[in-house]
Chains A and B, each alone.
Chain A
Amino acid sequence: MKNVGMKKQSRWLMALGLLLLVAANAMAARVSSLDPMGRVESVLNEIISILEDKALAGPESVDKRRNLVIEKVEGLFDFEEIAMRAMGRHWRERTPAEKTRFVNLFKQLLEKTYIDRIDTYSGERAVFQKQDIRGDYAMVYTQFVTSKNEIPINYKLRKKTNGWMVYDVEIETVSLVLNYRNQFDSIINREKYAGLVQRMEEKIAKGEPLDGAP
């Protein structure tokens, strides 16, 4: 009886050990060892190859293409960190449930707004210029080149357990996170946090831009 118990226990332990090993391997595979610039470049290249894939070009595969791109974007952009930074000083006042809800809403809105842009893709390229690494933080300088313009886009990244993740983007030196923080500040001051969430929900439901008037 005791023996059987021991056997059972050891088998159970072996199974657990195996499981941990497999999990560790899976984790290791997902952790990116690339440096910040290599990481942004590889993800952008993956997205471009999706956009240039002729098998996905037809109007019938619009959704499939979008989902593939979103998957890539979520591997590079740390939406939780972006949302937290955009909320700024109001973040600490939120309950865990409110935080989760807010991150989710903000992510949906960002994806919804920017994903339309991929349908107008026509061979634009990003030129990678340099990276500036300071401890666990880094900035990657790129130039987005179209036939008409060259737009400087800089990615700010932070080292996380699964590799470098983007926490802010600067377009023509304007920080996206700071821009949203100012908007959120202004809305929360006027309409409280509830007002902001209401605006976000309405915007998702409507799928239209909000009017500039308060």
Chain B
Amino acid sequence: MREKNMVGGMMRIGCILATIMAVGVGMSLLLTATAFASQADDPLADPFAATSAAGRQDTLADPLEPLNRFFFTVNDRLYFWALKPVATGYAKVVPEETRLNFRYFFYNLLAPVRVISNLLQGKIEESGIELARFVINSTIGIAGFDDPAAQGFGLHPSNEDLGQTLGVYGLGSGFYICWPILGPSTLRDSFGMVGDSFLNPLSYLIGGDMVAGGGVYVGKEVNDASLVLGDYEQFTEAAFDPYVAIRDAYHQYRSNQVRDLDNARNTSFVGEPGGKRPPFSTVSAQ
């Protein structure tokens, strides 16, 4: 009798469970069906949009647009009138190999930014790798002029900065700012840049000796630009409104950096005159 009751009770529980499960399955089927239906209905559906690009609704405010457009034009002229001719001449004189070495050198100098930013984002392992990279490249890599850490030890960089760190903490972009000379940024990334500058040895050099520091800064910019000549031109030529194209590319790129879509496949921002492209050798890592 008791047994029967127990069985009956279990059966009842089983029934209830089955009902719950059936309702659950039914609902999930319904949800899947509606999801499929809405995807089929929406001609703009893109299953890769959420994970691979800034969302459709994710727009960047631009209350300073007139001023930003002015500085965009200034930077554009500066590129075509000064940076590009100098970088082109420089590229003719200095072999590519040497220019790549200089890019490694400047990239290595910024290791403190990456060590600290990774740490602040809780990426302990990446932070350690950045530290190890800095030690290896500054010694075996002869003051950072080469990247044996990646080539010999398989230690690849994690491109983080304080702007991204603030983004990871949940701080929004704020609004778009196009700085003279420095180029595209946002309110958040500008705060990040100020923080980064405290971790950048170059800013202490500029602080100590304006002329020497400024000279090194210009040298770095020219060297970087010489390795990406043509990218900026092609990007702006393909645009119907180059200002908006660069603003959006910057926004998409930074949003994806905050989501760490870039670190699996190291990237850098093209929409910047002489774009700051770090040196990488990621093919072997894939």
A150 CA / B281 CA spacing, docked (Å): 7
A168 CA / B53 CA spacing, docked (Å): 11
With A117-B234, A174-B253, A178-B56 in contact, do A196 and B47 touch (Cβ < 8 Å)? no
A113 CA / B73 CA spacing, docked (Å): 21
Whether A187 and B240, one on each chain, are in contact in the complex, defined by CB atoms closer than 8 angstroms, is: yes
Whether A212 and B46, one on each chain, are in contact in the complex, defined by CB atoms closer than 8 angstroms, is: no
Contact of A175 among B53, B100, B230 (CB under 8 A): B53
Smallest Cβ-Cβ distance to A141: which chain B residue: B265
A9 CA / B93 CA spacing, docked (Å): 80
Whether A91 and B53, one on each chain, are in contact in the complex, defined by CB atoms closer than 8 angstroms, is: no
Whether A187 and B242, one on each chain, are in contact in the complex, defined by CB atoms closer than 8 angstroms, is: no
Those of A142-185 within 8 Å (CB) of chain B: 143, 145, 147-152, 154, 156, 167-168, 170-175, 178-184
Smallest Cβ-Cβ distance to A200: which chain B residue: B240
Interface string of A173-214 (1 = CB under 8 A from B): 111001111111011000000001001100100000110111
Which residues of the partner chain B approach A152 to less than 8 Å between Cβ atoms?
265-267
**Is A84 part of the contact surface with B, judged by Cβ < 8 Å?**
yes
Contact of A88 among B44, B230, B242 (CB under 8 A): B44
A88 CA / B237 CA spacing, docked (Å): 22
**Is B69 part of the contact surface with A, judged by Cβ < 8 Å?**
yes
**Is B245 part of the contact surface with A, judged by Cβ < 8 Å?**
yes
**Is B200 part of the contact surface with A, judged by Cβ < 8 Å?**
no
Which residues of the partner chain A approach B248 to less than 8 Å between Cβ atoms?
178-179, 182-183
**Is B96 part of the contact surface with A, judged by Cβ < 8 Å?**
yes
Whether A174 and B72, one on each chain, are in contact in the complex, defined by CB atoms closer than 8 angstroms, is: no
**Is B170 part of the contact surface with A, judged by Cβ < 8 Å?**
no
Which residues of the partner chain A approach B265 to less than 8 Å between Cβ atoms?
129, 141, 143, 152
Those of B209-247 within 8 Å (CB) of chain A: 227-228, 230, 234, 236-245, 247
Q: Shortest Cβ distance from A213 into chain B, in angstroms?
A: 6
Which residues of the partner chain A approach B238 to less than 8 Å between Cβ atoms?
109-110, 113-114
Contact of A172 among B48, B73, B230, B268 (CB under 8 A): B268
Those of B36-52 within 8 Å (CB) of chain A: 43-44, 46-49, 52
A168 CA / B240 CA spacing, docked (Å): 18
Whether B46 and A168, one on each chain, are in contact in the complex, defined by CB atoms closer than 8 angstroms, is: yes
Whether B96 and A148, one on each chain, are in contact in the complex, defined by CB atoms closer than 8 angstroms, is: yes
Per the CB 8 Å criterion, the residue count for chain A at the interface is 54
**Is B203 part of the contact surface with A, judged by Cβ < 8 Å?**
no
**Is B90 part of the contact surface with A, judged by Cβ < 8 Å?**
no
Contact of B245 among A109, A148, A179 (CB under 8 A): A179
**Is B88 part of the contact surface with A, judged by Cβ < 8 Å?**
no
Whether A212 and B52, one on each chain, are in contact in the complex, defined by CB atoms closer than 8 angstroms, is: no
Smallest Cβ-Cβ distance to A180: which chain B residue: B240
Whether A173 and B44, one on each chain, are in contact in the complex, defined by CB atoms closer than 8 angstroms, is: no
Whether A150 and B245, one on each chain, are in contact in the complex, defined by CB atoms closer than 8 angstroms, is: no
A212 CA / B265 CA spacing, docked (Å): 31
Q: Shortest Cβ distance from B251 into chain A, in angstroms?
A: 8
A129 CA / B265 CA spacing, docked (Å): 10
**Is A2 part of the contact surface with B, judged by Cβ < 8 Å?**
no
Those of B267-286 within 8 Å (CB) of chain A: 267-271, 277, 280-283, 286
Which residues of the partner chain B approach A148 to less than 8 Å between Cβ atoms?
96, 100, 227-228
Smallest Cβ-Cβ distance to A110: which chain B residue: B238
**Is A40 part of the contact surface with B, judged by Cβ < 8 Å?**
no
Smallest Cβ-Cβ distance to B97: which chain A residue: A147
A2 CA / B247 CA spacing, docked (Å): 75
Which residues of the partner chain A approach B286 to less than 8 Å between Cβ atoms?
127, 129, 143
A45 CA / B227 CA spacing, docked (Å): 26
Q: Shortest Cβ distance from A214 into chain B, in angstroms?
A: 7
Whether B227 and A149, one on each chain, are in contact in the complex, defined by CB atoms closer than 8 angstroms, is: yes
With A154-B52, A173-B262 in contact, do A145 and B236 touch (Cβ < 8 Å)? no
Whether B228 and A149, one on each chain, are in contact in the complex, defined by CB atoms closer than 8 angstroms, is: yes
**Is A77 part of the contact surface with B, judged by Cβ < 8 Å?**
no
With A149-B277, A178-B248, A183-B239 in contact, do A170 and B53 touch (Cβ < 8 Å)? yes
Q: Shortest Cβ distance from A19 into chain B, in angstroms?
A: 33
**Is B256 part of the contact surface with A, judged by Cβ < 8 Å?**
yes
Whether B54 and A113, one on each chain, are in contact in the complex, defined by CB atoms closer than 8 angstroms, is: no
A residues lining the B interface (CB < 8 Å): 84-85, 88, 91, 109-110, 113-114, 117, 120, 127, 129, 132, 134-135, 137, 139, 141, 143, 145, 147-152, 154, 156, 167-168, 170-175, 178-184, 186-187, 196, 199-200, 203, 209-210, 212-214
| 6 A-B pairs with C-beta separation under 8 A | A137-B47, A148-B228, A150-B281, A172-B262, A182-B244, A212-B241
Rank and list the top 10 A-B pairs by shortest CB-CB distance, nearest first. Answer: A172-B267, A175-B53, A173-B256, A182-B248, A152-B265, A113-B238, A212-B243, A209-B237, A212-B242, A174-B252
